[in-house]
């Protein structure tokens, strides 16, 4: 079986591309891990749909204040200058284009930038949340995900088969095997694990991977 990055390592890699001072919304679940890995000397300002701006790390176990939670109902702490606001105001921030980055999970991402991340189909439990607003309100939308599903099917595909969250909205995907940009309706390979050949990566990808320059090694720390 091909070695792959852990969820923590994928989250770490995504965090390296967040600019200092950026306003960032992290999707519920796996994407929340990105907040742990801000590069030294840089500080992102994290936003939640339920009405907090500039929250910090999770509190120690037993010291949670359950009036301070993120959109995923997990306890958070506050940084200096944090602000609270109504849920409607939070979505006005999203829809008004005031977020620099949204980082979300995915069931499928198409080479056109289409995203499916809220429903696995008729038998799935739908969970729309704020994703449909985020993917069209944030200035940059990135996805973090395993490269394939649990049963080995590609998550990076030519066209999504699941219900869409947004159309032509994703610009970069961080996976367990590679970093892929979406440009002009194509998957452009930027980084891959050094232990994985291009052909092996292509075999696990449901659309053509394009190389337009040097493909860097995907290097992350042990976490």
Q: Which helix (H) or strand (E) holds 7?
A: helix 7-15
- Other C-beta atoms closer than 10 Å to the C-beta of 188 total 18
SS3 168: coil
Phi, psi (degrees; rounded to nearest 5) at 46: -90, 140
Determine the 3-state secondary structure of 192 from DSSP.
strand
Q: Which two tokens stand for residue 96?
A: 């008004």
Q: Phi-psi bin for 129: left (phi > 0), alpha (psi -120 to 50), beta?
A: left
Q: Does 208 participate in catalysis according to the annotation?
A: no
Active-site entry in 32, 40, 43, 49: 49
Active-site positions read: 49
């Amino acid at each position: 079986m091909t070695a792959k990055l852990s969820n923590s390592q994928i989250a770490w890699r995504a965090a390296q591309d967040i600019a200092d001072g950026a306003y960032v919304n992290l999707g519920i679940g796996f994407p929340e891990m990105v907040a742990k890995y801000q590069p030294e000397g840089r500080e992102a300002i994290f936003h939640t749909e339920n009405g907090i701006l500039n929250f910090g790390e999770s509190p120690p176990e037993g010291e949670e204040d359950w009036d301070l939670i993120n959109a995923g109902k997990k306890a958070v702490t506050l940084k200096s200058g944090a602000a609270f606001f109504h849920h409607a105001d939070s979505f006005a921030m999203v829809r008004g284009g005031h977020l620099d980055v949204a980082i979300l999970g995915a069931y499928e991402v198409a080479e056109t930038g289409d995203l499916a991340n809220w429903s696995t189909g008729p038998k799935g439990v739908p969970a729309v949340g704020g994703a449909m607003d985020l993917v069209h309100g944030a200035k940059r939308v990135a996805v973090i995900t395993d490269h394939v599903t649990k049963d080995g099917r590609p998550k990076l595909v030519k066209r999504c088969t699941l219900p869409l969250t947004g159309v032509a909205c994703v610009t970069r995907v961080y996976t367990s095997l590679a970093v892929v940009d979406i440009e002009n309706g194509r998957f452009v390979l930027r980084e891959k694990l050094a232990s994985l050949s291009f052909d092996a990566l292509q075999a696990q990808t449901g659309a053509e991977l394009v190389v337009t320059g040097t493909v860097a090694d995907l290097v992350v720390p042990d976490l």
